[in-house]
């Protein structure tokens, strides 16, 4: 699936947020409908649930390089298959993760964010997530940049 089929927008980050709120990442797909639906579905044709997908950001160059670029990937947790990938800069992704950390509500719940996946503007799936892993250009987990719920061992 081509990365240029996707458009990513975020809400609830920096000046956009005002009060701490659950950050939202909206991924709009502009490609063949069946392709995305198939990748977002299990063997029975049902859409994957939030517990069945993982979201990560892989840097393609060192974070210290300034304008570091990377790839946001959504994968099927059980098969490891990529559902989708899109190019993004660290300057866009890392503030989103920080906003998710700051969104912890008064009940002390773990930080979270919402992912909405649209197909040409129509909602296909929506997921509330607590984990967003960040890897450096060599494939090492960057714990300090990642969103990892308390009690989770990696």
Residue 152 lies in a domain: no
Residue 154 lies in a domain: no
Report residue 111's pLDDT band, with 50, 70 and 90 as the boundaries: low
Residue 142 lies in a domain: no
The per-residue pLDDT for 22 is 86
* Distance separating alpha carbons of residues 84 and 1, to the nearest angstrom: 7
Domain that holds residue 45: 3-135
CA-atom Rg of the chain in angstroms: 15
The per-residue pLDDT for 103 is 78
Backbone angles phi, psi at 112, to 5 degrees: -150, 170
- Indicate the number of domains in the chain: 1
H or E element in which residue 101 lies? helix 90-102
Residue 87 lies in a domain: yes
- pLDDT at residue 110 greater than cutoff 80: no
Task: Write the pLDDT tens digit of every residue in 53-93.
Answer: 999 999 999 988 888 999 999 999 999 999 999 999 999 99
Asked whether the CA dihedral 122, 127, 131, 135 is positive or negative, the reply is negative
The per-residue pLDDT for 55 is 96
């Amino acid at each position: 699936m081509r990365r240029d089929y996707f458009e990513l927008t975020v809400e609830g980050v920096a000046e956009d947020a005002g009060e701490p709120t659950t950050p939202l990442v909206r991924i709009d797909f502009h490609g063949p409908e069946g392709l995305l639906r198939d990748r977002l579905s299990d063997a029975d044709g049902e859409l994957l649930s939030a517990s069945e997908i993982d979201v990560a950001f892989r840097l393609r160059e060192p974070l210290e390089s300034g304008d570091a670029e990377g790839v946001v990937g959504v994968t099927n947790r059980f098969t490891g298959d990529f559902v989708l990938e899109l190019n993004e800069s660290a300057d866009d992704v890392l503030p989103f993760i920080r906003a998710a950390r700051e969104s912890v509500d008064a009940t002390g719940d773990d930080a979270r964010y919402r992912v909405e996946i649209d197909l040409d503007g129509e909602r296909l799936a929506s997921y509330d997530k607590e984990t967003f892993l960040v890897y450096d250009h060599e494939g090492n987990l960057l714990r300090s940049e990642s969103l990892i719920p308390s009690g989770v061992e990696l």
